[in-house]
Structure 1
Amino acid sequence: MIFALLVVVFAISWGLTRFLRRYALSRSLMDIPNERSAHSVPTPRGGGVSIVVAFLFALPVLTLLELLPLPVLIALSGAGMLIAAIGFADDHGHIAARWRLLGHFIAAGWALFWLNGLAPIELLGVSLTPGWLGGVVGAIYLVWMLNLYNFMDGIDGLASAEAISVCLGMCLVYWVGGVVELVWAPLVLAGAVAGFLCWNFPPARIFMGDAGSGFLGIILGAMALQAAWSKPELIWSWLILLGVFIVDATWTLVRRLIRGDKVYQAHSSHAYQNAARRWGHKKVTISVAVINVAFLLPLSILVVHGHLNVVAGIFVAYAPLVCLAYLFKAGRS
């Protein structure tokens, strides 16, 4: 039954992306190259809606099969739909940054409410119960996750490859960690993104757009919070596997803040963008997937098994990524 669901999810995503590409071409919904662009020809945008539709179609099916708790269904569906709607509207026009941010925090609050907030955190053998402060931290975390995913969706196939490799990697972490019941949502999300990637792999024939990238960011962030209630170490496994995106986006933002840039304005100074200008989209996208699978995934497994403590795991994972961000001049004008 699960295999059939994955096939259907992939087919919905693939077919709807094809339709959205034709729709965008007919309505001239194009991403026009400018001095900040990583592409050189006008390209249709908004294809990420196919990921949203395919994934949200599958969630109630997982709940009916008793593979996904109802509160998690409500959390992911509600938050995801709101973020996708905001992104879709912004793709077709413009929404002021303050109103987008307000919507982002509303979606984060919705997800946290149904996920029962932030789970107790295990750090150096000590269990920390966040309480009300955990709600604030959790909301900031989710809003940053969805925005950093938007920032990192700037070259062909990168955001898609990141989502697929992270989701499948976490499925393996869940399996070896003895929490197989958590596998299904990330597995289905990987299937939905795979259908879109067929059209987005370099050279991309359609872009994801804010609707898709923001949706992926908040869904991945929410699934990490859900996992922490089953096993506290799992949230660290998620943060390690998402390290490429977290480090590049955070390092770039901090550098631009220090320099006094208007951080809400578009730019092209991320490490991955500088690397793509040197080596091309395909090499950078594939390299990120390889880093996730060959380097970050083993660290995630070691952490969840307790063979590597959290602080050491985060340091070993992030230190080389910080070096890469520095070498590729992330955040420099």
Structure 2
Amino acid sequence: MEYMPDWWGGAKIAVLAFPLILSGTVTLVMLWVFLTHLREVALDAPNHRSLHEVAVPRTGGVAVLAGVFVGILIAGVQISVGVFAAFFSLLSVSLFDDFRSLSARIRFVVQTLSVSLLFYSLRLELHFWFLWPLLVVTGVWVVNLYNFMDGMDGFAGGVTCIGFFSLGSVFFIKGAEQLAYFCYLIAASSAIFLYYNWPRARIFLGDAGSTTIGLAVFSLSVAGWQQGVLNLAVPLMIFLPFWLDATATLLVRVVKRERWWEAHRQHFYQRMAMKFGVRKSLFIELCIMFCTSTITLLLVVFGLV
């Protein structure tokens, strides 16, 4: 996330083609392995809170992240030890949780440490000390909300494709091609995953995928803000359908003194899916996502944000 080889300074879309295709290919191969030879690994059995009716493997996120990792290696990106450790620690505990459920307390501690380590590694300069805990709490929330919103076939995958492509385009327009490359990598691998996650889904992201992608949203947004190329309003506008639903639902559950950290079916997208069906609800949600992303890109192009 910090350094690119010398040739990267003049990179254009054509230069991105090979690593993006290779990244998608790796994701495709990994998905094939998980769906054929490792189909019974980390199955997500349906329960009274689920929208799916049969057990589905939740290893899709590993395939997406594998593709992204290969794309990073091919491009010769140098990532600091701290940033790598932040993502690896979160991925490890989330992957373990996919196989054997962990307590919310353990997951929260690791998430907090990962976000804090990320900030330290990015050497973020803040003029007011009280902004540090506020940003850490925000980072942990973004990690969790991405996980909370991954409960409907095609939803998280579709949002990831549209959201990261849009965020990457903003970075590209602003000349932050390094950050744009990361976004396009995630979008490309997620597009391959989305084919298998489309209703009726054959594979899910799992906690390993959703939480790590959530951390990627937050880290890229903060990195862009730190470099002065991104207004934090931009990712908020792009990912509006995700964070607004998750935040509003959380606040309602907190006010009602419910166990907000537990799985439930109170999100707007869940209630809409139970009323209109998954396919129609997914279409509506992705249309909203497309609209918020398009409006944001237009505002960036015209210099309004």
TM range (shorter): 0.7 to 0.9
Contact 1:51 1:196 in 2 (8 A): yes
* C-alpha distance in 2 between matches for 1:49 and 1:185: 17
* C-alpha distance in 2 between matches for 1:176 and 1:298: 15
User: Given the alignment of the two structures, is residue 51 of structure 1 paired with residue 64 of structure 2, yes or no?
Assistant: yes
Structure 1 unmatched ranges of 5 or more: 120-128, 309-333
Q: Which amino acid aligns with 1:52?
A: L
* C-alpha distance in 2 between matches for 1:145 and 1:130: 23
Contact 1:33 1:40 in 2 (8 A): yes
1:266 to 221, 246, 263: 263
Q: Which amino acid aligns with 1:211?
A: A
**Is the partner of 1:132 in helix, strand or coil?**
coil
Q: What is the root-mean-square deviation in Å for CA atoms of aligned residues?
A: 2.1
Q: Which amino acid aligns with 1:163?
A: T
Structure 2 unmatched ranges of 5 or more: 1-14
* C-alpha distance in 2 between matches for 1:37 and 1:79: 30
Would the alpha carbon gap of residues 305 and 110 (structure 1) be closer, same or farther in structure 2, given more than 3 Å must change? farther
Which is worse superposed, 142-151 or 12-21?
12-21
**Shift >6 Å, 4+ stretches:** none
Contact 1:49 1:211 in 2 (8 A): yes
Contact 1:80 1:215 in 2 (8 A): yes
User: Given the alignment of the two structures, is residue 213 of structure 1 paired with residue 206 of structure 2, yes or no?
Assistant: no
2:92 to 85, 88, 91: 85
What fraction of aligned residue pairs are identical, expressed as a percent?
Answer: 25
Q: 1:171 aligns to what?
A: 168
Contact 2:30 2:63 in 1 (8 A): yes
Alignment of 1:56-71 (within 5 A): 56-62=69-75, 64=76, 68=77, 70-71=79-80
Q: CA deviation at 1:9?
A: 0.5
What is the TM-score normalised by the length of structure 1? 0.81
Contact 2:157 2:194 in 1 (8 A): yes
Q: CA deviation at 1:69?
A: 5.8
Contact 1:248 1:271 in 2 (8 A): yes
Alignment of 1:70-219 (within 5 A): 70-71=79-80, 74=81, 76-117=83-124, 129-219=126-216
What is the TM-score normalised by the length of structure 2? 0.88
Would the alpha carbon gap of residues 56 and 131 (structure 1) be closer, same or farther in structure 2, given more than 3 Å must change? farther
* C-alpha distance in 2 between matches for 1:193 and 1:272: 20
Contact 2:168 2:182 in 1 (8 A): no
* C-alpha distance in 1 between matches for 2:250 and 2:142: 13
Contact 1:43 1:205 in 2 (8 A): yes
Q: CA deviation at 1:45?
A: 1.9
Q: CA deviation at 1:23?
A: 4.5
Counting matched residue pairs gives 291
1:67-122 superposed Cα distances (whole Å, 9 cap, x missing partner): x5644xx45533222211111101111211111111001110121112122x6xxx
